[in-house]
Chains A and B, each alone.
Chain A
Amino acid sequence: MTILEGMISGFWQSISLSVFPYLFVGSVFGLIIGVIPGLSGHFAMAMAVTFLYQMEPAAGIAFILGAHATVAQGGGLTAILFSTPGTGQNAATLLDGPQMRDKGEAGIAVGAAMASCFLGATFGALVLGLLIPVLREVVLFFGPPEVFVLAFLALTFVAVLGKEDMTRSLIAALLGLLLAMIGVDNVTNTHRFTMGSERLADGLQLVPVILGLFAVAEMIDLWVRGGSLARNMPKALSAKETQAQIFQGIGLAFKNWWLVMRCSAIGTAMGLIPGLGSAPASFVAYGHAKQSSPDRETFGTGNVKGVIGPESANDAVEGGALASTIAFGIPGSSSMAILLSGLFILGLDTGPQMLNQNVDIIFIMIFTIIIGNFIGTLFGMFLVNPLSRATSIRATIMVPVLMAIIATGAFAGERAIFDIGVAVTFGILGYVMKILNYSRAALLIGFVLGFAVEKNLYLALLLDGPLFVLQPIPLGLATVTVVFLVWNVWVIIRDRKRVIPIEPKA
């Protein structure tokens, strides 16, 4: 089967009556899972996989992948409306999304997020399609030295992330790296920072940490502050106003098409890199959006570009992440491992066989991502109105309800009460950080990338010796990292010089 034949066949199968209903149900299911804080794409797939035993291959793929593809979209809704990341991928959206809501622009933010998600997902899926002939080479491009340097590059983005100053961001990022070390070290079997707790031997789980840092902290803040989630808003937006705002937001995403493209490219590339995951991708995209905008100062106060950037990246990841699973049958993440076993259950073989004989299946995946996100966008628009009304409910009612949902979300992943404790602990930490103006995003990035940095550094050292950084590709990437850092420091010094003369007056 040629690629073109596969594409045509894949497209017709995706919209056929025997597949589309499953794709629809899967997408809506994923969207709802995404809206619920703490329930991730991994979770949606784990639930969906148990239904596959009675399904036809094409329908099964559309169902399970549809459920995974729309999760980030749902999560964006929660992030903007409730200051609570629906999934880890949406943590970066918190930097500007909720601020827009407070300005009374919730509809614009949601519209922009939904459209960016759709555009990003389409971009990532199309890139995957274009890469099919060279997929194997692309996946093998990234070895431990490359991944290490790339993870490090991503880490340097914390410098520009928040509105917080760089020293505080670095402190937070280093704390994140330290937190990533908790647990049994894979290499030496040593228990690190577990303080004798068997629970901590598995390390901290990402979901309760994110929920704590952002969601619980926000709830504490809301409780202390009183009032309602949407600040400075005497009453909720009317349905009509919201509707108008949504379309305005969608328009903004298309107007910033060049930014969407660049951030989607970041997302797709980071999806291709094994072990980095999608949360860093959206932060890097946010960093890039901020860096490249002339109105840099307004980031963090509700700039729509701060929503468009991360939201287009976090769904573009999907296309990249599929690459190693399809090319070699080797999953790059836990979600992809579930997808792979789903394909297994459906009787489909990945690797060279799929690339040569079942190209149509790959295109069903590609169209599932695109169509699924389109369905997610349409459905999400209907969800905005009822959800945004809830943002003007007063804290005394809202906080207990949301806390119950958050606690359930923290519990659900590992079914461990301990994780609720983790969420609460990190909630307090997050609240303190918020008050003292430390970047929670930086801490999260350090935490997420800590694993990748350490593991790949160790492997690179063992495989290529201490001079691994001098190989051409890692050297090139390392140079980019250094240039980026130096430039950032320079910008900060320059800005500081500019600010100083004004300070005495203020």
Chain B
Amino acid sequence: MRRQFLKTAAAVLTTGVAAIGFGSSAIAQDAAEFYKDNVIKWIVPYDPGGGYDEYSRIIAPYLEKYSGARVDIVNMPGSGGMKGAVEIFNSPADGTYIGIINGSAMVTNQLAQIEGADYRVSEYEYLGRIVADKRVLVASKLSGIETFEDLMQNGEPEIVGATGLGGSTYVDAVITGDVLGIEQRVVHGFDRSGDIRTAMLRGDVHAMWGSLGSALKGIKSGDHTVILHGEKNPTGVLEGIPSIYDVAGAQDDAERKVRILESWEALSAVGRPVAAPPGVPEDRLAFLREAFSAAMNDPEFVAAAADADRDLLFASGEEMGSIAAAATELEPDVEQLFVAAIRGEI
């Protein structure tokens, strides 16, 4: 990491010297020329080796290919991804600082006004989205629950595992439980979602919410079964399994429930976007968006992501803008519910 730091420091220095040298003429450069042989600093708000880091490292060469710039990945973990998100938000808006963020978590932190959430999700300039998680509720084999019906008719509260208060596993469980009237006891405090999975294998915990991607391994081995999901048009392994909308639609007060669940889905839709600080010059932003879109659609990149078992769900920069707005501008009653859920007041 130190070497990377030195490299970045050298790069920033060179850029700085170059900027002083060219000064006035820089304005005349068009965006493509600006990026050619320039350095883009790509901030990853987590440690190397995680999903965010892996996505970044797979796509970086393709962004280099289409932008002409060198992409330097800088890992900046801390505060559950907030440190890096704030860093991106506050970095110089010249188009050389971008980064991947944990969109959904950043939205919930912002809604609950958690200390350190010094950014506005809807004010970032987005290059686009790499992927959004499909949220699923999985039950362990040991629990004997095979369908959502089993869960509802079991007669005793199910133990649903979750990580920290306000984490996505927690918020998902509390909101869907509240809206759909699931009899459950949410046990939170696990360090990471992997620990919940171990607890399910031991039989300590019956079910958990999580992303389909990380649940796949357990589903394939038969340890876990998906019993509910948040997709309106389920495909693949989710086909034939009821969605939250199916369940809510059959209950009383269906319209209000579906409205809340749609807002909840909007949270997950923010997914993992690539963001730049607010105020990046328009021509450079347009150029970056185009390069990002080209990279995301490069067949070689798509194959590389598939090789690494990493899902893709591209959304353009413009689309991301409206997704982020939809996720943060909630109706008052829904917002109240979400904030209560994030703070653990439900």
Contact = CB atoms under 8 A, between A and B. Distances in A.
Given A47-B1, A345-B308, A187 B188 contact: yes
A186 B165 contact: yes
A342 B195 CA distance: 19
A135 interface: no
A186 B191 contact: yes
A64 B163 CA distance: 29
Nearest to A45: B49
Interface stretch (B71-79, B127-135, B147-155, B227-235): B71-79
A143 B49 contact: no
Given A140-B198, A140-B202, A187-B164, A46 B48 contact: yes
A143 B195 CA distance: 10
Given A274-B195, A344-B309, A463-B159, A189 B166 contact: yes
Contacts of A102: none
Contact of A46 (B49, B190, B204): B49
Interface stretch (A154-162, A294-302, A328-336): A328-336
Contacts of B2: 408, 412
B187 A415 contact: no
Contacts, number: 121
A505 B32 CA distance: 88
Contact of B50 (A139, A201, A330, A337): A337
A341 B50 contact: yes
B49 A342 contact: yes
A328 B198 contact: yes
A408 B150 CA distance: 56
Nearest to A409: B2
B344 to A, nearest CB: 7
A49 B4 CA distance: 14
Contact of B76 (A188, A330, A415, A464): A415
A133 interface: no
B165 A189 contact: yes
B221 interface: yes
B79 A349 contact: no
Interface residues of A, number: 53
Contact of B195 (A50, A188, A330, A416): A330
Given A186-B165, A331-B194, A344-B54, A352 B221 contact: yes
Contact of B1 (A46, A337, A338, A353): A46
B279 interface: no
B319 interface: no
Contacts of A328: 197-198, 201
A191 to B, nearest CB: 7
A379 to B, nearest CB: 21
Contacts of B78: 202, 414, 416
B221 A351 contact: yes
Contacts of B1: 43, 46-47, 412, 415
Interface string A183-212: 000111101000000100110000000000
A459 B189 contact: yes
Interface string B93-132: 0000000000000000000001110000000000000000
Given A274-B195, A330-B198, A341 B188 contact: no
Interface string A38-74: 0000010111011001000000000000000000000
B202 A143 contact: yes
Given A189-B343, A202-B78, A330-B197, A275 B191 contact: yes
A347 interface: yes
Contacts of B164: 186-187, 189
Interface string A285-319: 00000000000000000000000000000000000
Contact of B187 (A43, A191, A329, A462): A462
B12 to A, nearest CB: 14
A139 B187 contact: no
Max chain A CB contacts within 10 Å: which of B2, B58, B75, B309? B2
B198 A324 contact: yes
Contacts of B195: 274, 330
A418 to B, nearest CB: 10
A274 B202 CA distance: 14
Contacts of A352: 221
B47 interface: yes
Contacts of A330: 194-195, 197-198
Contacts of B192: 331, 337
Nearest to B304: A53
B198 A201 contact: no
Contacts of A455: 189, 191
Interface string A340-359: 11101101011111000000
Contacts of A45: 49
A206 B199 CA distance: 26
B204 A144 contact: yes
Interface in B164-194: 164-166, 187-192, 194
A140 B142 CA distance: 13
A496 B78 CA distance: 49
B217 A458 contact: no
A340 B192 CA distance: 14
B116 A201 contact: yes
Interface in A193-244: 198, 201-202
B309 A459 contact: no
Interface string B331-345: 000000000000110
Nearest to A411: B2
A324 B198 CA distance: 9
B161 to A, nearest CB: 9
Given A143-B202, A341-B49, A341-B51, 16 more contacts: A43-B1, A46-B47, A47-B1, A143-B204, A186-B189, A188-B344, A198-B79, A274-B198, A324-B198, A334-B47, A337-B49, A341-B53, A350-B217, A455-B189, A458-B189, A462-B189
23 contacts: A46-B48, A46-B49, A47-B1, A49-B48, A49-B49, A50-B48, A136-B201, A140-B201, A186-B191, A187-B164, A188-B165, A191-B115, A202-B78, A324-B198, A331-B194, A334-B47, A337-B194, A338-B47, A344-B54, A345-B308, A347-B307, A412-B2, A415-B1
10 closest A-B pairs by CB: A338-B49, A330-B194, A341-B49, A46-B48, A186-B164, A189-B165, A187-B189, A462-B187, A352-B221, A49-B49
Interface of A: 43, 45-47, 49-50, 53, 136, 139-140, 143-144, 186-189, 191, 198, 201-202, 274-275, 324, 328-331, 334, 337-342, 344-345, 347, 349-353, 408, 412, 414-416, 455, 458-459, 462-464
